[in-house]
Homo-oligomer: A and B are copies of this chain.
Amino acid sequence: DFNLAAIYVSDAQYNRNVYFDTSPQAVRLYMLYNHWALKVLLYFFMLVNLSLAIFEDPAVYALPIWLTLVDMIIYGALKAANYYGVRWSRVLRPLLLVNVTEGRQLRRAFRSIRNALPQIFYVFLLFMFSILIFALMALKLLGKGLTNINGTPYFTSYLEIMFDLYVLVTTANSPDVMPAYNANFFFAVFFIVYILINTYIFMSVFLAVVYNNYKKYLKEEVRQLVRAKRHKMVRAFGVLQEQREEGGEPVVTQASWNQLVRLVQPNLSNAHRELLWSVSDDKNQGAIKVAFVQLADLLNIEIITIKSRPHPLQSLCPSLYQSAPSKLLCKLVQHAFVMVYDLIILVNAVFIGLDEENPMIANSEWVFLALYILEILLKLYVFEPRVFFSKHSFWNFDTIIVISALIATTVNSVMKSSHFSSRQILDIVFILRVLRLIRVVDSIKFRTIINTLIRIGPAILTFGQLIIVVYYIFAMVGMELFKRKVTFYEQSSTDPAKAYCGNPLLNGTDFAKLNYCRNNFNDVVSSFILLVELTVVNQWHLSSGFATVTHISARIFFVLFHIIVVIVILIFVAFVLEAFFVEYSVDKSDLQTSLERKIEELELAVAETMEDNLVNAMETIDNDLGGSQSAKPNLPSLMFKIASKDALLQRIFEADLDPEDFAENDDPEARGNENFANPLFSHA
């Protein structure tokens, strides 16, 4: 029974919505299904499936001949059976990512986009109409004997103009405005009006409509999620409930609660668990009822437990560690250190920029490394090691970088002394050196921005997956359409075909002139890089190039890709905006507030002023403990600090959600089944 309750809680915690049988055997199987090893396996096979594209024709790494033979036989057999040779399954592969249980975030995003499509379509129609009108004007007003720089006629074909004007909206300089502007001053007005309407006004409207609709449907999804979470918790309550006295209300006792939490999250410390219980059982009754429902949300709030204990050296040789010079050293490290090392980093930055062939500068690297390691050792002397290496400290990153740099620099100089220098290791050493400079940013001014970025990270990852699905599909289609149409020749090659990327059709085109041969669909990696270029830099030369080597209709592929990617990016931008606004404006959730209040009540809080950096916080604590021990002798040895805020999505929409979504008996259809006021419903 505890297993069943634990599954309900864990499903509520991670917003899983899988229907399962509640027999003990099925529950055990479901727990196995949710085991992390199986999940890793699932993702591993998904990765294998997706990365098949690396070995399939057109391949990055051609497979050994016998494997190719097997492939050929299967392919040949299919062909013999009159199957058409395009491998549609490859295009559909990334949909696996969407359709597994773990893809629910992604699925939600997809559903929201799909639901928003009709509204987006109306704006798009209006936008296309505007382009049509302007194209008509351009055809009649500008298409009169003007020529491009290369002498081709300017603005003559209607379809061509429409494509050019579409490209102009992306702020790429196509069509080249100059021929019209040179011919008549007032034609510039035409383009200015066009860009004002279609780039600025329409794109803003597009962003507004896309995001507004996306948000609307996402809100509905989040509402359903909150409801489903409540129902699961109510079910878990139904499993664990007991009546302490005859005729009394059904409750969950602390003992069963403890056992449940231990099952759901085995690695939770006892102190942490007791804290959560004391928040839930606010009146200290030894049993809870309504507060039980909070459990999933409570478990989702990350809490850092800081054990404040004396420095090991203090216990080993207290007289030395408490001596005057040692105390002075501690004070110096605690107060003057950050500024001194910021200065050292800046000097380091200048040295990195200088010529590294100079032996003096090359050796200076050792000096800087020694300084950084000295810093780590001094900090270790002053601060308690477990705090220094704690999971949530930014300094950790710094320490890793410094130690990696030490190793890489040593390896490099050993290799150098044996007259063998590797460009790769040199580059790694260099990147490590530069990364060290990031420390300068670790100041309070920037911390709010960076923290917000870190917090919206998971949401950004969902968009990353969305982008990968879109990219993969277009890469597969692109490879079928354009493989081996354009060839890249190494720079050392002397083949005359190099000048036109191995395709005579490209002779003399911009594509070949600009040396774009490497932008091709000849393998999956090249395809992805090409799609990135299309996303970012508006490389419409590419679309012209591929239209030249195949057919003018190839442009449809590129325009379609652009439209889809723009919608995803618009949603991404709007989402980041919203997340920032929420970070800036929305207060903590009620639950978090009550948790914080409890922590403060118990006098276990890390002081607010110490919040921005845990090691800094520890400095102050150490200071209190070590420096002037008399001040706060009763400081508890265990402290809590809330590390993360609630789930971003829920917080974004919390203000908008109706109160009944959080109310007890909200869902009429569920009310019959599980009335929380009297949860008689029992799961066999």
Contacts and interface: CB of A to CB of B under 8 A. Distances in A.
Interface of A: 122-123, 125-126, 129, 133, 136-137, 139-141, 149, 158, 168, 171-173, 176-179, 181-183, 185, 188, 192, 195, 199-201, 203-205, 207-209, 211-212, 349, 352-353, 356, 427, 430-431, 434, 437-438, 440-441, 445-446, 449, 452-453, 488, 491, 513-519, 525, 529, 532-533, 536-539, 569, 572-574, 576-577, 579-581, 584
Given A192-B532, A195-B536, A577 B580 contact: no
Given A182-B518, A192-B529, A529-B192, A539 B449 contact: no
B199 A441 contact: no
Given A122-B445, A182-B518, A195-B532, 6 more contacts: A140-B356, A178-B518, A205-B453, A208-B581, A209-B449, A577-B577
Contact of A349 (B136, B185, B209, B353): B136
Nearest to A488: B182
Contacts of A139: 353
Contacts of A181: 518, 529
Task: State the copy count for this chain.
Answer: 2
Q: 10 smallest A-B Cβ distances: which pairs?
A: A208-B580, A204-B576, A173-B537, A188-B529, A208-B577, A195-B536, A178-B515, A204-B573, A140-B430, A122-B445
Nearest to A490: B182
A184 to B, nearest CB: 10
Nearest to A183: B491
A566 to B, nearest CB: 12
Nearest to A575: B204
Nearest to A182: B518
A441 B126 contact: yes
A495 to B, nearest CB: 15
Given A178-B518, A182-B518, A208 B576 contact: yes
Contact of A572 (B204, B434, B518, B573): B204
Contacts of A577: 204, 207-208, 211, 574, 577
A183 B518 CA distance: 10
A532 B181 CA distance: 13
A433 to B, nearest CB: 9
Contacts of A445: 122
B538 A171 contact: yes
Nearest to A541: B173
A580 B438 contact: no
A514 to B, nearest CB: 7
Contacts of A491: 182-183
A437 B141 contact: no
16 contacts: A133-B434, A136-B349, A137-B430, A137-B431, A140-B352, A149-B515, A158-B353, A171-B537, A177-B533, A178-B519, A185-B525, A188-B529, A201-B576, A204-B572, A211-B577, A212-B581
Contact of A584 (B172, B179, B204, B212): B212
Contacts of A488: 182
A449 B205 contact: yes
A539 B205 CA distance: 25
Contacts of A446: 122, 125-126
A200 B569 contact: yes
Nearest to A188: B529
Contacts of A431: 137, 141
Q: Which of A125, A488, A537, A573 has the most CB of B within 10 A?
A: A537
Nearest to A423: B144
A213 to B, nearest CB: 9
A86 B173 CA distance: 34
B353 A207 contact: no
B576 A172 contact: no
Contacts of A168: 537
Nearest to A203: B573
A352 B126 CA distance: 20
Given A185-B525, A441-B129, A122 B205 contact: no
Contacts of A516: 178
Given A434-B136, A525-B185, A539 B580 contact: no
Contacts of A176: 514
Q: Which of A149, A173, A176 has the most CB of B within 10 A?
A: A173
Nearest to A118: B445
A133 B205 contact: no
Contacts of A133: 434, 437-438
Contacts of A122: 445-446, 449
B352 A172 contact: no
A518 B187 CA distance: 13
A434 B137 contact: yes
Contacts of A199: 536
Nearest to A207: B577
Nearest to A179: B515
A356 to B, nearest CB: 8
Contacts of A352: 136, 140
A140 B434 CA distance: 10
